[in-house]
Structure 1
Amino acid sequence: MQYRKNLIMKNGQAAILRSGVASDGQAALEVFNLTHEETDFLLSYPDESSMDAEQESEFLERKTASANEVEILALVGNQVVGMAGIDAVGACHKVSHRAEFGICLVKEYWGLGLGTALTKACVQCAKDAGYAQVELDVVADNVSAIHLYQKLGFVEYGRNPKGFCSRMSGYQELIYMRLDLEG
C-alpha cells in the first residue's frame, strides 16, 4: 500500500510518514535493531534478526506493492526514526477480515506524537484495505503504549501471563487488544 503524510511533531520539528521503498532497506534494518535494543517491550532482540539489508529492501517493496499490507516509515530530516505496519493475519477466508499491527520507534522520539501518527496511519490503511479489525499484542508494563491504543479505541480482549520470556525480567504478560473498524 502507498501512504504519505507530512506532520509537525510536538517539539515543532517536521516529520514525514511514508511507505518504505527498497532504498530504505539498510536504514529500516538499523532502526529495527536499535529499537529492539532500546526497549524490552518488543518481540525480539537484535541478535535474533534474520534479515539483512537486501531482505529488508525486498520486504519494504512487497509491502508497498501490496493491496492490503503496509510498512510506514517515520522520517525526521532524511533519517528513519520509526516504523509501523499492518499485516494480514492470514489469507484464508475465515481470517481475511483481520489485520495485525506492529510498531517500533527510536526512544529519542518517544512522546512527540510519532507513535500516535504511525498508529493512526496504519488504522487508516487497514480501513482502506477493507479489514474489519486491527489486532495487536502489548506488554502489560508498557503503560504509555496501552494508553495510546485505548485513546484510539482499541479494547482488551485477553491476556497471556507468560506471553514473552524476557532475557532481563523473566515472563512478561501480554495484553491482546483489538480495534473494530466496522463500528
Structure 2
Amino acid sequence: MKIESKKYQVHGLNYIIRSAAEADAVYLPELRVMIDGETENLDREAGEHLQSQADCSRQIKEDLEAPNHLFLVAVVDDIPIGFARCEGSSLKRLSHKVTFGVCVRKDYWGHQIGKNLLLQSIAWADKNGIKKMELSVLETNKKAILLYMDMGFKVEGLLRFDKLLSDGRFYDTIVMGRISSVI
C-alpha cells in the first residue's frame, strides 16, 4: 500500500518519509548490510541473509500491491537512510494484524527518524482498519522499548535466551503489541 510523502526537519536535518519506490531497490541491499553491521539490536549480522536489488524490487512491488503491507523509506537528498515495514498475512484469521520492523543508519540517529517511521506506520494501520501491530525488540534496546510504550505498545511476552550476541551472552527478546484505538 502507498502513503503520501511527508517532510520533516529535526535538529537541522531535512528528510522525507514516503512509500518505497522501485528506484529505491538500488540502495536498499547496501543500506541493509550497513545497518546490520552498526548495531546488535537487529536479527542479522552484516552480510547475513543478503538481498539482491531484484529481491528488493520484488518486495517493494508486493508491498505496494498488498492492502495490509506497507514499506516506508526515510530519504535524505533522495537517498534512503532508513526504512520500516508492516507485513500482514493473507490468512483470514491473521488478516487483522501486521508485524512492524524499523531500522535507521546510525549516523542519522537522534533525528526522530525511527519515531516518525513508526508514527506514519501507526497512522496508516489505523486508517486502514489494521486492529493490531506487533513487533519484537531486544531487551537491551531500552530507548526503543520506551518509545514503543509511549506509542501505545504493551509487553505481550518474553522470548528467553533468544539472541546470541558478540559478547557470547544470550539475550531475551521482548514481544510487544499495540491494539488500535480505532476499533
TM-score for both structures, normalised by structure 2: 0.93
Gaps of 5+ in 1: none
Two-structure CA RMSD over aligned residues (Å):
1.5
Contact 1:133/1:181 (8 A) holds in 2? yes
Distance in 1 between residues matched to 2:13 and 2:137, nearest whole Å: 28
Instruction: Tell me how far 1:98 sits from its aligned partner.
Output: 1.4
Contact 2:13/2:111 (8 A) holds in 1? no
Paired letter, 1:34:
M
Aligned residues: 182
1:108-127 aligned at under 5 Å gives the runs 108-127=107-126
Distance in 2 between residues matched to 1:103 and 1:168, nearest whole Å: 24
Contact 1:9/1:114 (8 A) holds in 2? no
Distance in 1 between residues matched to 2:23 and 2:143, nearest whole Å: 32
Distance in 1 between residues matched to 2:7 and 2:160, nearest whole Å: 37
TM-score for both structures, normalised by structure 1: 0.93
User: Does 2:133 match 1:129?
Assistant: no
Instruction: Tell me how far 1:149 sits from its aligned partner.
Output: 0.6
Contact 1:34/1:46 (8 A) holds in 2? yes
Q: Residue 169 and residue 79 in structure 1: after superposition, are their counterparts in 2 closer, same or farther (change >3 A)?
A: farther
Instruction: Tell me how far 1:68 sits from its aligned partner.
Output: 1.4
3-state DSSP of counterpart to 2:58: helix
Which residue is equivalent to 1:54?
54
1:21-100 aligned at under 5 Å gives the runs 21-88=21-88, 90-100=89-99
Distance in 2 between residues matched to 1:112 and 1:182, nearest whole Å: 27
Distance in 1 between residues matched to 2:43 and 2:106, nearest whole Å: 16
Distance in 1 between residues matched to 2:122 and 2:28, nearest whole Å: 21
Q: Residue 74 and residue 158 in structure 1: after superposition, are their counterparts in 2 closer, same or farther (change >3 A)?
A: same
Contact 1:4/1:16 (8 A) holds in 2? no
Distance in 2 between residues matched to 1:37 and 1:4, nearest whole Å: 31
Distance in 2 between residues matched to 1:103 and 1:167, nearest whole Å: 21
Which residue is equivalent to 2:170?
171
Paired letter, 1:81:
I
Instruction: Tell me how far 1:169 sits from its aligned partner.
Output: 4.0
Gaps of 5+ in 2: none
CA offsets per residue over residues 36-78 of structure 1, 9 Å max, x none?
1100010112321232111111111211222110110000112
The ranges of structure 1 where at least 4 consecutive aligned residues each deviate by more than 6 angstroms after the TM superposition are: none
Which residue is equivalent to 1:159?
158
Paired letter, 2:125:
A
Distance in 1 between residues matched to 2:180 and 2:58, nearest whole Å: 29
